[in-house]
Structure 1
């Protein structure tokens, strides 16, 4: 996936995320063909924005593996949706092999569901019960299995419909100028629950599509394909690389075990790449920026004041100033009579 070159360093995470989210929502009212150059260009732009958001989330370290969603700030809940959105957008791409596209989307959906499960946003899906002591071909077992699947689908459909209705109502409230924190939190949690249901459905569809694609590949290998007689012109497209939320090389190795051919980026690699592209400043430039920063000026002023105060105290000691010496003696006498923590006796037995 081509990296975004247009995002300046002074842009904030929520600004990049909001731009990508608005662009993604605009696709619902777009009537251009999916494979049109304009639509594909907007899809790639939206993916690049969400990828940069993902890298910044990793850089900031917003998520930890030992937390629950109750501990996550309301404004940060929306960043759980990054891999889901990237999975949705990846499936709309037309500039790569379909097998590669569905594999990358599958990685995003699995990463989204895994993080939601770790943060107790959802439970692992329950396996459908299988009846014992009955042959698989038996009609009774087949009818029972079909009934279970039908009931499960109806339950999911009803749950999804209720969630979507609630999300529509909350979305109207979110468009107001001042929104209460509780409404924001409820909106993000409802949206996450809806996306969890969608992600599980998408994974089922992807599993079925992968079987079809594998069957097509076998058929092509067994017969004479036009691709061997007339190879495609031009260089092959760049391979897709999923960008998931990781902080260091250890996490990258763990997440990469399932798909070693699809690497992720650590925070250090992301920063080095941005420096090489000229988007982020290098260490020497950062030192110059820090020298002129407001915080550095305040620190220098405080340091100068402390040095001046130390010189004044030293001068008072050398001149045996009576008032200064009297204050110091009073402090020493107070410390002798009052031990440390003397006045902190509230609520002690």
Structure 2
């Protein structure tokens, strides 16, 4: 009895005898004795060459077979991008691979993942199909990135999107904000030279200009905060309360100057600084309010006396002018008469005498009638 085996045009056969590979079989019809110890494994040439439970090396001694195979030997430190007829088919990790080249052309792009950055040779449209083998890192438009391989600084990254292979080299990117930043110090208790404890609210603006120096400082913001705190204590501790209140506009310039003395060390530029509030203890505030009220009352009394003096001086000058000028005296009489007439309904004049005498007699009569 014979067994009939048909191998199609898009197939190849692998002949085994007693479990050992013998040769490749081309398309055709083959007959074997049914009780023979020979067997045939059919391979589809559109698929990858693979024999279950057999190592690929067992077949590579057959030159006729290998002439129809494309071999890809991928090292432990490599990824290989596999293309069939120019179209991406998949990514190969470490191992030995064989592909039938009878119907399709197989090409490869090898990448050394010991250098993690994905080169421009790799079409960016393929990256979506490689998500399990790569990582994406983005640096925003207002940031800078510091690239580390195995914790060793490599370079500074400008804003953009970067792609790295996952592999034996660990990749980290630390980003720093390059925008203008603000540091607020609120309720900072400081003692003046005359032992008055007060609280300050202070603010300063800065921006990172040297990311490499800034990243080397552990707890960067905390250390800048402490620097600002020490400078404020240095300034306030040398002034008495009255001097501080009088010179509070100068504190910002002093602090900004002292901060910029340290800008090279911290890798930043301090742009501006300002004192927002000085908060006094309750008892000191009451004393200052009392002093202020007394000062304002004294100023008000001074102004009042000054106005009274000016008014008296004006009357004296007017009297001198009327004494020297009869016409002016007469005009003043008429002015006063006009003011009196505004308050009196009827005036009757009889007899001689001047106007002032008549007015005097009228007023005297009016008072008697009352």
Normalised to the residue count of structure 2, the TM-score between the two structures is 0.17
Q: Which has the higher helix share?
A: 1
Q: Which has the higher contact order (CA 8 A, sep 6+)?
A: 1
Q: Which one has the bigger strand percentage?
A: 2
Give me the TM-score of the superposition, normalised by structure 1.
Answer: 0.18
